[in-house]
Amino acid sequence: MDSSLGQTRANGFGCDEDVLKVIYESISDLNVQLSRQQRIEKSPHAVLFGAGGKLDSLGLANFIVIAEQKLYDSLGFRIDLTENDPFSPNAGHFRTIESLANYVSDLASRRTKAPQ
């Protein structure tokens, strides 16, 4: 997994910083429905889901649809964040904001490299 967050990726359409910005905007929207204790910090290392995470499965599902919509608005094409079961204990991409940003960047990168 790429851990070069904060650095611009030359993938033709966007970069990790763009993705991180969209994720933070999604978190702002999600935090409105969460109690003060549950609100998620906008930091790459904030734990989202799984042990020590603040989101339950409903919270994660809400976060996914908010983020998918914002990514679509930002990138101009749809990314399916449930391609790999997000609730599976083996799926680590929703563990932290950093792991999610890398996952999204990889999905987006694959999307742009795929034959049209």
Partner 1 sequence: MQAGRSTALKLYLISDFNLETLGHYLSNGSTWPQVAATSAPFGQVFPALLHPGPDPLDFALVWTSPEKVVPAFGDALKSIEIDEDRVLAELGEFANCLHQAQTHFRAIFVVSWTLPAHQRGNNILGLRRHGPRRLLLKMNLALAEKLENCASVYLLDGQRWMDENSYSPKLWYLTKTPFHPAVFSRAAGDLKAAISGILGASRKLLVVDLDNILWGGVVGDVGWEELRLGGHDYVGEAFLDFQQALKSLRNRGILLAIVSKNDEAIAMEALNKHPQMVLRPGDFAATRINWNDKAANVAEVAEELNLGLQSIVFIDDSPIERARVREALPEVYVPEWPDDKTLFASTLLQMGCFDTAYAADEDASRQQMYATEGHRKLSRQMVSSAEEWLLSCHTVVTVEEQCDANRERVVQLLNKTNQMNLATRRLSSQELQIWLQQENRKLWAFRVSDKFGDSGLTGILSLEIRSEIARITDFVLSCRVMGRNIESVMVAFAAQHCAALGLQELRADYTPTAKNKPCLRFWMSSGFSYDEGKNRFLWLLRQPYPFPRGIEVRLPSLPVSI
By the criterion CB under 8 A, which residues form the site for partner 1?
Answer: 29-30, 32-36, 57-58, 61-62, 64-66, 68-69, 82
Tell the smallest beta-carbon distance from residue 79 to partner 1 (Å): 12
Residue with Cβ nearer partner 1 (32 or 114): 32
Give the three-state DSSP class for 95: coil
> Residue 36: left if φ>0, alpha if ψ -120 to 50, beta else—which one?
alpha
Tell the smallest beta-carbon distance from residue 28 to partner 1 (Å): 12
Helix, strand, coil share of the chain (percent; to 5): 45, 0, 55
Tell the smallest beta-carbon distance from residue 97 to partner 1 (Å): 19
